[in-house]
Each structure stands twice: as C-alpha cells, then as structure tokens.
Chains A and B, each alone.
Chain A
Amino acid sequence: MAKLRVTALTPTIGGLIEGVDLSQQLDDEVIAEVRAALLRHRVVFFVDQHITPMQHRDFAARFGALHTHPLYPGVPEAPELFILDNHANNPTDNDAWHTDVTFIETPPLGAVLYAKQLPADGGDTLWCNMRAAYEALSPAMQTFLAQLDAVHDFARGFPARGTVAKAAGADKHAKAVGEHPPVIHPVIRTHPETGEDALFVNYGFTARIKGLRRKESDAILNMLFDHIQKPEFQVRWRWKDNAIAFWDNRITQHYAVNDYLPHRRVMHRATILGDRPFHRSRMPQALKTAAE
C-alpha cells in the first residue's frame, strides 16, 4: 500500500515525493518506498520540510552509515552533516559536474541536501542520469569502456589553491591529502541494487583511465565529460526554502549553478556511505556467490 505520492519531473530523472514529514519517525515501509523512488528516479525531492540537524542526520542514517567529510565544516549539533555556506567571501567551487566523494574506496550511496538559506534568484542544482548517459553511447564505446578502470583523486577535486582547501586551512588540507591517496574504480559501474550498468567517471575526481596513454585517456575522458552534459539526461531543480534533495550518488552527477554571488546560499548535507564499485564482468567473488 503506497503511502507516498511520487511525480516524475522529466522522462529521465527526478521525482517529487509528497505525503511524508521527514521530522517524524518513519516506519520501515515508508523508508522502503523512498528507497524504491530513489532507485527509480535517481534523485528525489521533498518540499516544505522542517527538520533539525539531528532529524536530518537520523533520516539519512536509515539508508546507511554516514560519511564525515575531511574538509567541509560540520554542523555543530550533528557533526556528520556538513555546511555549504557560499557568499561573496566564500565563492562556491561546485560549478563543475561531479559525483560526490568518489575519491574513497566506498563512495557514497547517496546524499541528502537541505536548503537552509537561499538567494532570491539562482543557485539551482542540476543532476544527470549516468544510466541514460551510458545507454546513449555506441555499443562499441560501451564495450571498450566496460573493461577499463579509472583513477579517482581527492587532490584533483580539492587542490590546495581551491576555495574549499583555503577555507579549511593548509594543515587540515595537507592531512586530508595524506589520508586520501588515489583510488581505482571501474569506468562502467554495475549498480549494486538495480543491476544496471552506468558511467562512473566524473570531471571532479577522475584523473585518468588506467592502461591508456595520456593523450588517449584525456581524449576519452573529455569526450565523456562533454557527453554527460546533454540536457536529455538532466533535471534542473529550482530550490525553495526547506526543500530537500536526496540523490543516488552511484548513478548520478550533479552541478551547483554559480550565479547568485554576492548573495548567500547555505545548505546542509548528509552523505551516506556506499559499497565498493564493481563492474559485472569483474564482480567480487563474494557478490558473485551471493548472486548465484
């Protein structure tokens, strides 16, 4: 018996969920419906939600263990949440397509982003569906990419001279770089819940494709970074106060539009840890056994 109303926002990605108050203790059935909507729509939105940081954290924690970001400042009441506070003196650097935190072995399953303070105009976020982007590639390109792995690097996304590193301070940044050596993920990731193959390289953190020459890797990655920007794969969300976006970070990328400075935009984010990415052809033995 469905308790939630879910409205698709585009044919490809995005669903608006109504009929739930996230400040309440939700039963397992509702959580299962949210999860199903997330898997289907890749990013889901809730509006008119009035939740405390603790309620925000607790809702996200129903979907998995939470990640604490090495650089961004935490919310005092719930340090697993971090604050994105952009204004004239702290310009955003999220105006580039990326998947969150792919620089760790087990990148996030998803993130729950809550609008705390918005500019009157601007500051939209876009998400794109990496399944749709994968499906739109030629079969020859899909086959080529399916065998490949890529290097994801924290230092690419958060260079020492970047605004986030500067805001965090040199010591915190140097420590974070030391604790996050580059990691390897498949270029095509099989979604662990839906079984769909999807592109899993992103401009933010993917430095190169292993086994290719430098020029080959640059050309292929640039082609893919360009390809994923097609409007056909996207939803553009115009924020409202107290709206929440919850995205499946295993199969989406997002882009925060940098068009509102000098006005201020404050968001809180909870990040849910995921599993280790794999491609079906190179599935870990444990998962293969479980699947059989």
Chain B
Amino acid sequence: MATQSSFDVTPLSPALGATVSGLKLSDPLGDTVITDLRKVLLDHEVLFFEDQELTPVQQRDFASRFGKLHLHPIRPSVPGVPEVLILNNEPGSDTDTGNWRADVTFIETPPMATLLYAHEVPERGGDTLWSSMRAAYDALSSSVRAFLAPLDAEHDFAMSFPPDHLVRLNIGIERYAWARREYPPVVHPVVRTHPETGRDGLFVNSGFTTRLLGLSKAESAKVLELLAEHIQRPEFVIRRQWKPGMLAFWDNRVTQHYTVDDYIPHRRVMHRVTILGDKPFNRARLRLAAE
C-alpha cells in the first residue's frame, strides 16, 4: 500500500501493527514524510522499521520531529544524549520485562509515543508484544464501557519503581528520594479519548495504575484485574521478534506493551526515546463539564 510519501506500509494484523519500508531514518526527512508517518502511526498504532542504522543522536532527532522529548527521572541514558535511554537487560541488571504497561503514565502528560531501537538482541527470545487499547475497549460489553467511562484512576511511579529497584538500577538514595518527591501520584481518566483520532481506549495499565478512584479497595482491585487480563487477549495483540537495527515506534496513548522475559543469560540492549504527549481526557466527560 503506497502513500503519498516514498514509503510502503504493510499491515501485520487486523488489530494493530504495520511494517514501514523504503525509508532510511538516519537521512533528513521532509515535513511531508513526517506528516504521513504520523498518519500511519495513528492508523496502525505501532510501526516497525527494519534494517536501520541509527546513532543515538539520529534516533533522538528523528523522534523530536514528532514532539518534545521526555527525560526519564532514573533510567540510565546514553552519555551526552540524555533523551536516549539505555535498556540493558542482562543477568543481574534491571529487567523491565514480564509485565504489561504503557510508558510513563505516572506524569500529568504521559508520552505520546515511544521509539525503541534494537542495538543488540539475542538470537531468540526477548520479543515484544503490543496490545491495542482501542480494540480492547471496543470488545468490552456496553455496560462495562458505560461503567468505566466516568471513572478516574491513580497512576504512581513507585508501583513500577519501588525503593528496592534502586539497587538494581544502581542509583543513589538521594536521586530516588528526589524522583519520588518530583513524581507524586497523578490521576488520569480510565477511558481516554485519543486526542488525534477521537477514539476512546482503555487507559489503565499494570505498570503504574494503583487504583480506581471512587470504588472500594476490593472493587478497584477486581476491576483492574479484569481489565489487566482482558487486554492480553490475542485478538488485540501483535508479537514481534527483534532483529538488530529494527526500530519500533508506538503510539503510547493507545497501546500497552510487554517484553518477554525469556532470553537470560543473553544480552538485549535497546535504545529508547519517548515523545511527550498531552494531558489525557475523556471526551464525553469534557462535554458534560462544558454543559
């Protein structure tokens, strides 16, 4: 399927995912290409670019064409390029794997998108899965959708980065205490209206969502458990095996992802850049508030 720009898009599954070919991301790209890529990202939710040769600076520069970049409070980054995080999962290191999550939902304006570049990957294992929160939301019963739409949820940095994590991340106690102060829990709608497509999607994740406001603790736990299980249905999910030089570019407002924890003792080194997004909202509730 050709677009106006000089690249090809091959959808990978009915729910989400497409491969984009014919672009060298290390080259300077025209504004038309960037506009078209943004549209393709909105259509497919996660894009894959293969056989790329990207330096950290080139990855940062490509990402910054789509918005402002996020600086992570505690993860290690490439020296001199603080926007590019190094996810280096080897024995004994921080394994950011084995759970479903959206990135950095613990801030008021969670990332619009993430660009993850495979620097070094094991021959087998270490796949990533993405799930479409739009498809997951659409598949809920209308009663449950109506129940969830007015609700808010609390998202907390400390849920994925508990204090014992700092040992594994090898950061100091002062830095952690600073991050904890800097990032108090935030509140987001449970059903988020995508600011560009206008479509509603689920916006709670097992990485950072601690509770649903206005429900009892027991109710909140059960409903979050139901949703955490629901989003894993293979119908909403795509699974990709990495190759060195592959870049995944996902819309973090409408997807969750999961890194498969099955490759230790092999090394897996990834470079991650996240693009800041806007403050999540629910359209129906905005309208109600305006009336």
Contacts and interface: CB of A to CB of B under 8 A. Distances in A.
A232 B125 CA distance: 9
B127 A121 contact: no
Given A121-B11, A257-B235, A260-B14, A11 B229 contact: no
Contacts of B232: 229
A231 B234 CA distance: 10
A226 B229 contact: yes
B208 interface: no
Interface stretch (B169-177, B198-206, B254-262): B254-262
B125 A121 contact: no
Contacts of B124: 8-11
Nearest to B260: A231
B98 interface: yes
Interface string A133-159: 000000000000000000000000000
A259 interface: yes
Contact of B125 (A10, A126, A230, A255): A10
A33 to B, nearest CB: 21
B13 A124 contact: yes
Interface string A248-271: 000000010111100000000000
A12 interface: yes
Contacts of A9: 124
B239 A231 contact: yes
A94 to B, nearest CB: 11
A203 to B, nearest CB: 12
Contact of B234 (A232, A236, A260): A236
B49 interface: no
A231 B258 contact: yes
Given A121-B14, A226-B229, A231-B127, A11 B262 contact: yes
A257 B14 CA distance: 11
A230 B239 CA distance: 13
A122 interface: yes
B281 interface: no
Given A124-B234, A126-B234, A232-B98, A259 B260 contact: no
A95 interface: yes
A41 B54 CA distance: 35
B185 to A, nearest CB: 27
Given A11-B262, A231-B239, A232-B260, A255 B234 contact: yes
Give the interface residue-count category, chain A.
20 to 34
A122 B16 CA distance: 11
A10 B262 contact: yes
Contacts of B15: 259
Contact of B262 (A124, A232, A259): A232
Contact of B13 (A8, A95, A121, A255): A121
Contacts of A122: 13-14
A232 B261 contact: yes
A49 B260 CA distance: 31
Contacts of A258: 235
Main secondary structure of the interface of B (DSSP, over half): loop
Contacts of B13: 121-122, 124, 259
* Residue of A11, A122, A229, A232 contacting most chain B CB atoms (<10 Å): A11
B235 A95 contact: yes
Interface string B71-114: 00000000000000000000000000010000000000000000
B263 interface: yes
Nearest to B259: A231
Interface string B204-221: 000000000000000000
A86 to B, nearest CB: 14
B129 interface: yes
A258 B98 CA distance: 25
A103 B173 CA distance: 57
A70 to B, nearest CB: 27
B146 to A, nearest CB: 24
Nearest to B263: A11
B14 A259 contact: yes
A255 B98 CA distance: 20
B262 A257 contact: no
B31 to A, nearest CB: 31
Nearest to B15: A259
B260 A257 contact: no
Interface of A: 8-12, 95, 121-122, 124, 126, 226, 229-232, 236, 255, 257-260
When A and B form their complex, which 5 residue pairs have the shortest distance between CB atoms, in order from nearest? A11-B125, A122-B14, A259-B14, A257-B234, A259-B235
20 contacts: A9-B124, A10-B124, A10-B125, A10-B127, A11-B125, A12-B262, A95-B235, A121-B11, A121-B14, A122-B13, A226-B229, A229-B232, A230-B98, A231-B129, A232-B260, A232-B262, A236-B234, A257-B234, A259-B14, A259-B235
